[in-house]
Amino acid sequence: MFGRADDVGAEFGIPPLGGALLGGTPPSGRDLAHGPVGTAQLALFCSSVAVHRALCGIGRAPDRVVGVSFGEIAALTAAGVFDIPGGARIACLLAQHLQRCEGRLTLLGTGEGRANALLREAGCPGLAVACVNDPGETVISGPLRELQTAEKCAQRQGLSVTRLRLPFSSHHPALKGPADAFAAAIRTVPARAARLPVHSAVRGGPYGPGDDVHRGLADCLVRPARLPEVLFQVTTPAPALLLEAGTGRALTRNVRRTVPPSAARAAAPLGEPGFSWAPGGRTPAGALPGSPALLPPPEQSP
Protein backbone atom coordinates (compact mmCIF):
# COMPACT_ATOMS: atom_id res chain seq x y z
CA MET A 1 0.00 0.00 0.00
CA PHE A 2 2.69 2.49 1.01
CA GLY A 3 4.61 1.87 -2.21
CA ARG A 4 1.65 2.86 -4.38
CA ALA A 5 1.00 5.94 -2.26
CA ASP A 6 4.68 6.89 -2.34
CA ASP A 7 4.63 6.69 -6.15
CA VAL A 8 1.87 9.31 -6.18
CA GLY A 9 3.66 11.40 -3.57
CA ALA A 10 6.76 11.50 -5.76
CA GLU A 11 4.74 13.30 -8.44
CA PHE A 12 4.17 16.07 -5.88
CA GLY A 13 7.78 16.22 -4.70
CA ILE A 14 7.10 14.27 -1.49
CA PRO A 15 9.85 11.84 -0.42
CA PRO A 16 8.89 8.21 0.34
CA LEU A 17 6.97 7.96 3.61
CA GLY A 18 6.41 4.24 4.04
CA GLY A 19 9.73 3.44 5.68
CA ALA A 20 9.50 6.33 8.13
CA LEU A 21 5.87 5.69 9.09
CA LEU A 22 6.48 1.99 9.64
CA GLY A 23 9.75 2.48 11.54
CA GLY A 24 10.33 2.41 15.26
CA THR A 25 10.24 6.20 15.63
CA PRO A 26 7.67 7.52 13.15
CA PRO A 27 7.70 11.26 12.44
CA SER A 28 5.55 13.56 14.54
CA GLY A 29 2.88 15.81 13.12
CA ARG A 30 5.27 18.72 13.45
CA ASP A 31 7.96 16.83 11.53
CA LEU A 32 5.49 16.09 8.74
CA ALA A 33 4.36 19.71 8.61
CA HIS A 34 7.94 20.77 7.83
CA GLY A 35 8.09 18.53 4.75
CA PRO A 36 7.05 19.48 1.21
CA VAL A 37 3.44 20.53 0.70
CA GLY A 38 1.23 17.47 1.01
CA THR A 39 3.55 15.45 3.26
CA ALA A 40 1.27 15.63 6.31
CA GLN A 41 -1.92 14.97 4.36
CA LEU A 42 -0.45 11.98 2.52
CA ALA A 43 1.05 10.53 5.71
CA LEU A 44 -2.21 10.74 7.58
CA PHE A 45 -4.18 9.27 4.71
CA CYS A 46 -1.76 6.33 4.56
CA SER A 47 -1.81 5.86 8.33
CA SER A 48 -5.60 5.74 8.47
CA VAL A 49 -5.92 3.26 5.62
CA ALA A 50 -3.11 1.13 7.08
CA VAL A 51 -4.86 0.92 10.46
CA HIS A 52 -8.13 0.04 8.72
CA ARG A 53 -6.42 -2.76 6.79
CA ALA A 54 -4.68 -4.06 9.90
CA LEU A 55 -8.03 -4.22 11.71
CA CYS A 56 -9.53 -6.10 8.77
CA GLY A 57 -6.59 -8.49 8.96
CA ILE A 58 -7.48 -9.53 12.53
CA GLY A 59 -11.14 -10.05 11.73
CA ARG A 60 -12.38 -6.61 12.75
CA ALA A 61 -13.61 -5.43 9.37
CA PRO A 62 -16.31 -2.77 9.79
CA ASP A 63 -19.78 -2.92 8.33
CA ARG A 64 -19.79 0.88 7.92
CA VAL A 65 -17.24 3.69 8.11
CA VAL A 66 -17.46 7.26 9.37
CA GLY A 67 -15.46 10.04 7.74
CA VAL A 68 -14.74 13.09 9.89
CA SER A 69 -13.70 16.17 7.92
CA PHE A 70 -11.03 15.16 5.40
CA GLY A 71 -10.94 11.75 7.03
CA GLU A 72 -13.56 11.17 4.36
CA ILE A 73 -10.73 10.56 1.88
CA ALA A 74 -9.53 7.59 3.92
CA ALA A 75 -13.09 6.47 4.68
CA LEU A 76 -14.08 6.43 1.01
CA THR A 77 -10.87 4.57 0.17
CA ALA A 78 -11.53 2.02 2.91
CA ALA A 79 -14.97 1.48 1.39
CA GLY A 80 -13.49 0.90 -2.08
CA VAL A 81 -14.75 4.13 -3.68
CA PHE A 82 -11.17 5.20 -4.41
CA ASP A 83 -8.14 2.97 -4.83
CA ILE A 84 -4.91 3.72 -2.96
CA PRO A 85 -3.33 5.86 -5.72
CA GLY A 86 -6.60 7.75 -6.15
CA GLY A 87 -6.98 8.49 -2.45
CA ALA A 88 -3.32 9.48 -2.21
CA ARG A 89 -3.71 11.86 -5.15
CA ILE A 90 -6.75 13.49 -3.56
CA ALA A 91 -4.82 13.97 -0.30
CA CYS A 92 -1.93 15.64 -2.13
CA LEU A 93 -4.25 17.88 -4.15
CA LEU A 94 -6.07 18.84 -0.97
CA ALA A 95 -2.81 20.10 0.51
CA GLN A 96 -2.24 22.35 -2.48
CA HIS A 97 -5.68 23.92 -2.21
CA LEU A 98 -5.48 24.33 1.56
CA GLN A 99 -2.71 26.85 0.92
CA ARG A 100 -5.40 29.18 -0.46
CA CYS A 101 -7.56 28.83 2.66
CA GLU A 102 -6.58 31.89 4.66
CA GLY A 103 -7.40 31.98 8.35
CA ARG A 104 -6.99 29.66 11.29
CA LEU A 105 -8.90 27.25 13.53
CA THR A 106 -9.47 27.37 17.30
CA LEU A 107 -10.81 24.66 19.60
CA LEU A 108 -13.23 25.83 22.30
CA GLY A 109 -14.24 23.82 25.34
CA THR A 110 -17.96 24.34 24.87
CA GLY A 111 -20.89 23.15 22.80
CA GLU A 112 -22.17 24.54 19.51
CA GLY A 113 -24.90 26.72 21.03
CA ARG A 114 -22.62 28.57 23.39
CA ALA A 115 -19.94 28.84 20.70
CA ASN A 116 -22.40 30.61 18.38
CA ALA A 117 -23.47 32.91 21.21
CA LEU A 118 -19.82 33.70 21.90
CA LEU A 119 -19.23 34.73 18.29
CA ARG A 120 -22.18 37.11 18.47
CA GLU A 121 -21.05 38.58 21.79
CA ALA A 122 -17.50 39.03 20.49
CA GLY A 123 -18.79 40.84 17.40
CA CYS A 124 -17.05 38.47 15.00
CA PRO A 125 -19.36 37.97 11.98
CA GLY A 126 -16.48 36.62 9.91
CA LEU A 127 -16.12 33.54 12.10
CA ALA A 128 -18.12 30.33 11.81
CA VAL A 129 -18.54 27.07 13.67
CA ALA A 130 -16.33 24.64 11.78
CA CYS A 131 -16.69 21.38 13.69
CA VAL A 132 -18.82 20.08 16.52
CA ASN A 133 -16.75 17.27 18.00
CA ASP A 134 -18.96 16.45 20.99
CA PRO A 135 -21.42 18.24 23.30
CA GLY A 136 -18.57 20.09 25.01
CA GLU A 137 -16.07 20.69 22.20
CA THR A 138 -16.44 22.98 19.19
CA VAL A 139 -14.00 24.34 16.62
CA ILE A 140 -14.40 27.82 15.14
CA SER A 141 -12.84 29.00 11.90
CA GLY A 142 -12.08 32.25 10.13
CA PRO A 143 -9.81 35.29 9.83
CA LEU A 144 -6.97 35.43 12.34
CA ARG A 145 -7.77 38.88 13.75
CA GLU A 146 -11.38 37.99 14.53
CA LEU A 147 -10.26 34.63 15.87
CA GLN A 148 -7.97 36.39 18.35
CA THR A 149 -10.88 38.58 19.48
CA ALA A 150 -13.14 35.57 20.01
CA GLU A 151 -10.39 33.71 21.86
CA LYS A 152 -10.00 36.56 24.35
CA CYS A 153 -13.76 36.70 24.85
CA ALA A 154 -13.86 32.95 25.49
CA GLN A 155 -11.01 33.14 27.99
CA ARG A 156 -12.82 35.90 29.90
CA GLN A 157 -15.78 33.54 30.16
CA GLY A 158 -13.58 30.80 31.57
CA LEU A 159 -13.66 28.55 28.52
CA SER A 160 -10.67 26.49 27.44
CA VAL A 161 -9.15 27.84 24.22
CA THR A 162 -6.62 26.09 21.98
CA ARG A 163 -5.38 27.47 18.69
CA LEU A 164 -4.76 24.55 16.35
CA ARG A 165 -1.27 24.29 14.85
CA LEU A 166 -2.56 24.46 11.30
CA PRO A 167 -1.61 27.20 8.82
CA PHE A 168 -5.03 27.32 7.18
CA SER A 169 -8.76 27.56 7.75
CA SER A 170 -11.46 25.09 6.70
CA HIS A 171 -15.18 24.39 7.09
CA HIS A 172 -15.94 28.04 6.37
CA PRO A 173 -18.48 29.38 3.83
CA ALA A 174 -16.02 32.00 2.57
CA LEU A 175 -13.83 29.23 1.10
CA LYS A 176 -16.12 28.56 -1.87
CA GLY A 177 -13.38 29.50 -4.35
CA PRO A 178 -10.82 26.98 -3.06
CA ALA A 179 -13.58 24.39 -2.63
CA ASP A 180 -14.71 24.70 -6.25
CA ALA A 181 -11.11 24.53 -7.47
CA PHE A 182 -10.44 21.44 -5.35
CA ALA A 183 -13.59 19.73 -6.66
CA ALA A 184 -12.48 20.39 -10.24
CA ALA A 185 -8.94 19.15 -9.54
CA ILE A 186 -10.05 15.79 -8.15
CA ARG A 187 -12.85 15.21 -10.67
CA THR A 188 -10.62 12.99 -12.83
CA VAL A 189 -9.92 10.56 -9.96
CA PRO A 190 -12.11 7.49 -10.69
CA ALA A 191 -14.81 6.68 -8.13
CA ARG A 192 -16.56 3.33 -7.80
CA ALA A 193 -19.59 2.12 -5.87
CA ALA A 194 -18.92 1.76 -2.16
CA ARG A 195 -18.64 -1.74 -0.72
CA LEU A 196 -20.13 -0.56 2.58
CA PRO A 197 -21.88 2.59 3.86
CA VAL A 198 -19.76 5.72 4.29
CA HIS A 199 -21.20 8.16 6.82
CA SER A 200 -20.03 11.77 6.54
CA ALA A 201 -19.93 14.16 9.49
CA VAL A 202 -20.22 17.01 6.95
CA ARG A 203 -23.20 15.59 5.06
CA GLY A 204 -24.86 14.53 8.30
CA GLY A 205 -25.40 10.99 7.07
CA PRO A 206 -24.31 8.34 4.58
CA TYR A 207 -23.45 8.87 0.93
CA GLY A 208 -26.09 7.48 -1.42
CA PRO A 209 -25.49 5.52 -4.65
CA GLY A 210 -25.91 8.58 -6.88
CA ASP A 211 -24.15 11.14 -4.71
CA ASP A 212 -21.19 13.14 -6.01
CA VAL A 213 -18.33 12.08 -3.73
CA HIS A 214 -15.90 14.53 -5.33
CA ARG A 215 -18.20 17.44 -4.50
CA GLY A 216 -18.77 15.94 -1.08
CA LEU A 217 -15.05 16.08 -0.31
CA ALA A 218 -14.86 19.67 -1.51
CA ASP A 219 -17.80 20.56 0.74
CA CYS A 220 -15.54 19.81 3.71
CA LEU A 221 -13.92 23.16 3.00
CA VAL A 222 -17.16 25.15 3.25
CA ARG A 223 -19.59 23.20 5.44
CA PRO A 224 -19.34 22.36 9.16
CA ALA A 225 -18.69 18.84 10.40
CA ARG A 226 -21.03 17.69 13.15
CA LEU A 227 -19.90 14.41 14.61
CA PRO A 228 -22.55 13.77 17.31
CA GLU A 229 -25.53 13.37 14.98
CA VAL A 230 -23.62 10.87 12.83
CA LEU A 231 -22.52 8.92 15.90
CA PHE A 232 -26.13 8.45 16.95
CA GLN A 233 -26.91 7.14 13.46
CA VAL A 234 -24.14 4.55 13.36
CA THR A 235 -24.72 3.32 16.90
CA THR A 236 -28.34 2.43 16.19
CA PRO A 237 -29.23 -0.31 16.83
CA ALA A 238 -27.10 -0.61 19.94
CA PRO A 239 -24.69 -1.83 21.11
CA ALA A 240 -21.97 -0.88 18.66
CA LEU A 241 -18.18 -1.00 18.61
CA LEU A 242 -16.37 1.94 17.02
CA LEU A 243 -12.65 1.69 16.27
CA GLU A 244 -10.62 4.79 15.46
CA ALA A 245 -8.54 4.11 12.35
CA GLY A 246 -5.90 6.73 12.98
CA THR A 247 -2.81 7.40 15.06
CA GLY A 248 -4.47 9.15 18.00
CA ARG A 249 -7.53 8.87 20.19
CA ALA A 250 -9.35 12.21 19.84
CA LEU A 251 -12.32 10.64 18.07
CA THR A 252 -12.54 7.90 20.66
CA ARG A 253 -12.72 10.53 23.38
CA ASN A 254 -15.47 12.35 21.45
CA VAL A 255 -17.48 9.14 21.11
CA ARG A 256 -17.26 8.47 24.84
CA ARG A 257 -18.45 12.00 25.59
CA THR A 258 -21.36 11.76 23.18
CA VAL A 259 -22.80 8.25 23.17
CA PRO A 260 -23.79 6.44 26.38
CA PRO A 261 -21.76 3.31 27.19
CA SER A 262 -24.87 1.18 26.80
CA ALA A 263 -25.08 2.23 23.13
CA ALA A 264 -21.45 1.99 22.05
CA ARG A 265 -17.93 1.07 22.98
CA ALA A 266 -15.07 2.99 21.40
CA ALA A 267 -11.37 2.19 21.18
CA ALA A 268 -8.27 3.68 19.59
CA PRO A 269 -6.07 0.76 18.47
CA LEU A 270 -2.91 2.87 18.06
CA GLY A 271 -3.70 5.45 20.74
CA GLU A 272 -4.43 3.07 23.61
CA PRO A 273 -1.68 0.65 24.69
CA GLY A 274 -4.18 -1.84 26.09
CA PHE A 275 -5.92 -2.51 22.77
CA SER A 276 -5.78 -6.19 21.85
CA TRP A 277 -4.68 -7.05 18.32
CA ALA A 278 -5.70 -10.67 18.82
CA PRO A 279 -8.02 -11.94 16.08
CA GLY A 280 -11.62 -11.03 16.83
CA GLY A 281 -15.06 -10.96 15.30
CA ARG A 282 -16.63 -8.56 12.85
CA THR A 283 -17.42 -5.18 14.39
CA PRO A 284 -21.09 -4.26 14.80
CA ALA A 285 -20.32 -0.69 13.72
CA GLY A 286 -17.58 0.96 11.81
CA ALA A 287 -14.13 2.32 12.12
CA LEU A 288 -13.52 6.03 12.34
CA PRO A 289 -10.80 7.03 9.88
CA GLY A 290 -8.72 10.00 11.11
CA SER A 291 -8.39 13.22 9.00
CA PRO A 292 -5.27 13.58 6.82
CA ALA A 293 -4.40 16.98 8.10
CA LEU A 294 -2.31 16.73 11.25
CA LEU A 295 -3.16 14.15 13.92
CA PRO A 296 -5.75 12.61 13.72
CA PRO A 297 -8.45 14.95 12.35
CA PRO A 298 -7.09 18.50 11.96
CA GLU A 299 -10.00 20.06 13.80
CA GLN A 300 -9.36 18.00 16.93
CA SER A 301 -5.60 17.88 17.35
CA PRO A 302 -3.98 21.07 18.71
**Same domain as 91, residue 108:** no
In this predicted structure, what is the pLDDT of residue 283?
A: 46
**Same domain as 205, residue 277:** yes
- CATH, residue 145: 3.30.70.250
**Same domain as 283, residue 202:** yes
Q: pLDDT tens, 182-203?
A: 999 999 999 999 999 999 999 9
Q: pLDDT tens, 255-265?
A: 999 999 999 89
**Same domain as 141, residue 96:** no
**Same domain as 29, residue 178:** yes
Query: How many residues comprise the chain?
Result: 302
In this predicted structure, what is the pLDDT of residue 291?
A: 32
- CATH, residue 205: 3.40.366.10
Structural domain containing residue 108: 104-163
- List of residues 6+ apart from 113 with CB closer than 8 A: none
Query: Is residue 297 situated within a structural domain?
Result: no
**Same domain as 90, residue 137:** no
In this predicted structure, what is the pLDDT of residue 285?
A: 53
Q: Which residues of the chain have pLDDT under 50?
A: 281-284, 290-302
Query: Is residue 294 situated within a structural domain?
Result: no
CA distances, 195 to each of 72, 79, 189, 201, 208 (Å)? 15, 5, 18, 19, 12
Whole-model pTM: value is 0.91
Residue 149 burial class via C-beta count within 10 angstroms: exposed 0-12, middle 13-18, buried 19 and up: middle
**Same domain as 266, residue 227:** yes
In this predicted structure, what is the pLDDT of residue 288?
A: 55
In this predicted structure, what is the pLDDT of residue 287?
A: 54
